[in-house]
Structure 1
Amino acid sequence: MTVIEVFDPAMCCSTGVCGPSPDPVLATFTADLDWLAARGVEVRRFNLSQEPGAFVQRPAVQHLLTRDGEQALPIVVLDGEVRSSGRYPSRGELAGWAGVEAVEAVGVWSDAVAELVAVGAAVGANCEPCFKYHYDKARKFGVTNEELVAAVRTAQAVKDTPARAMLSLAARLLRVDAAAFGSPLAPASAPADEPTTETPDNGGSCCGSDEPVAIGATPGTGSAGASVTVPPAGDDGPGIPASGEPTGSGCCG
C-alpha cells in the first residue's frame, strides 16, 4: 500500500479551520488527503508541536530541518522518499505521486447561479424590484422556470422558519392556540390552563433598552430621540413618487 507522510509545522491542529483566521490552503490540502485516503492511500500526519519524535526518526526529514530550519516544513514523504518541502502540494501532484487518477473538483458558481441566489435574497427581503430585476437576468442566462421555482421555494422556506418560531413563542407565552393568530404559518399548539410567567432572556427589554420607544424616536433615547421623517406620497423623497412605485433602474432602485 502506498503511504504518504506529512510533516506539518507547529500548529494547534492540521485542519486549517480552527482559530480566528482559517487557512484555506491548509483546509484544501486536508480535503485532498481525505480524498486520497478514500482511494486506498494510507495517510499519516505529524505535527511538530505534538509529535517531534517523528521528525527525528526520519533521517531525510531531520536533514532538511537541520539545513533549512522550519522553512523546510511542511515536508511530504511518499514511501520513504521526500517529494516536496516548504509548501503543500496540489491534489494533482499528490495523485500523480500515489498513482491515483486525479479528478479535479468542479466549481458550480456561475452567472446563472448568482442570479438564483439573488432571486432567493429578493424573496427574503420582500423586495419586488429586486425580484423582477434578477428574474429578468436569470432568464437571460438560461435559468429555467423550474429552477426559479425551486429557488423561490427554498428562500421562502428559510424565510418562514423564524416567522413560524415567533408565532410558536407568542402562542406559548400567551397560552393560546397558534391558530388564533390567523396565520397559515402558525404551528399547532395547545393552550394551557394558567398564564405563563416566562419572559424572554434579554433583560426584560427589547433590543437591549429598558426605555419605551416613541414613534419616530431612536431606540434608547425615548421621545426625545432623533426622529425619522417619512415623506408623504407625492413628496420628493428618494425613489418614492405618489404612485408608490420605486423609481430608477436595476435592482433596489
Structure 2
Amino acid sequence: MSKVEIFEPAMCCPTGVCGPGVDADLLRITAIVGELVSMGKEIERYNLTDSPEVFVQNPKVNDALINIGMGALPLTVVDGEIKKMGDYPTNSDLVSWSGMTREDVIEMIKKSQSASGCSCCGGGDCSDSDCSGGDCC
C-alpha cells in the first residue's frame, strides 16, 4: 500500500468552510480522504499553518517551495515522489495512488450510497420520475 501525502497552503481549517466562501474542491478532498482513511488507506494532509515543520523536513517539498513558491501548493507526494503540484489530486488519482482494488471502489460506492439513503440519481430523491425502484438513472 502506498503512502499519500497532501501538502496544503496555509488555511484555518481543512474544509475551507471557515472562510467567506465554501471551496468545493476542499470539501471534495476532505470527503474522499476521509473515506479512504476509513478503509485503512495511508493518506495524510498537512496544512502549512498547522505543520510547517513537515514542509521543511521533506526535501522535495521544501525544494518545490523554494524554487516555485506557494504556487506549488497543494502538492501531492506518493511514496516520496511528487505526483501533482499546484492543484489537488482527482478522486481517481487518490483511488489509484492509495492502492485500491476494484472491489474496494465498489465497497466505497455502496457505503456512500447507503449513507445517502438512496442509490438512484446520485443519491437524490427516489420518487423522482427518472428513478425506478432505487435503480440508477
Please confirm whether the aligned pair reaches a TM-score higher than 0.5, indicating the same fold: yes
Which residue of the partner structure matches residue 90 of structure 1? 90
For structure 2, list consecutive stretches of 5 or more residues without a partner in the other structure: 113-120, 133-137
Percent of pairs with identical residues: 39
The two structures have a TM-score, normalised by structure 1, of 0.42
Instruction: Give, as a single letter, the amino acid of the residue that structure 1 aligns with 2:93.
Output: E
Judged with a 3 Å threshold, the aligned counterparts in structure 2 of structure 1 residues 142 and 51 are, in CA distance, closer, same or farther, namely closer
Separation (CA, whole Å) in 2 of partners of 1:58 and 1:50 = 15
- Which SS does the other structure have where 1:108 is aligned? coil
Name which structure has the greater RCO, CA cutoff 8 Å, separation 6+.
2
The two structures have a TM-score, normalised by structure 2, of 0.73
Asked which structure has the greater CA Rg, the reply is: 1
Which residue of the partner structure matches residue 62 of structure 1? 62
Separation (CA, whole Å) in 1 of partners of 2:24 and 2:52 = 25
Decide which structure has greater strand share: 2
Residue 49 (1) aligns with residue 49 (2): yes
Judged with a 3 Å threshold, the aligned counterparts in structure 2 of structure 1 residues 5 and 143 are, in CA distance, closer, same or farther, namely closer
**1:16 shift after superposition:** 2.4
**1:142 shift after superposition:** 6.6
Aligned length, in residue pairs: 117
**1:68 shift after superposition:** 1.1
Judged with a 3 Å threshold, the aligned counterparts in structure 2 of structure 1 residues 40 and 11 are, in CA distance, closer, same or farther, namely same
Instruction: Give, as a single letter, the amino acid of the residue that structure 1 aligns with 2:79.
Output: D
Which residue of the partner structure matches residue 73 of structure 2? 73
Please give the root-mean-square deviation of Cα atoms over the aligned residues, in Å: 2.4
Which residue of the partner structure matches residue 108 of structure 1? 123
Matches within 5 A, 1:168-183: none
- What whole-Å deviation, never above 9, does each CA across 1:188-207 have from its counterpart, x for those lacking one? xxxxxxxxxxxxxxxxxxxx
- What whole-Å deviation, never above 9, does each CA across 1:223-243 have from its counterpart, x for those lacking one? xxxxxxxxxxxxxxxxxxxxx
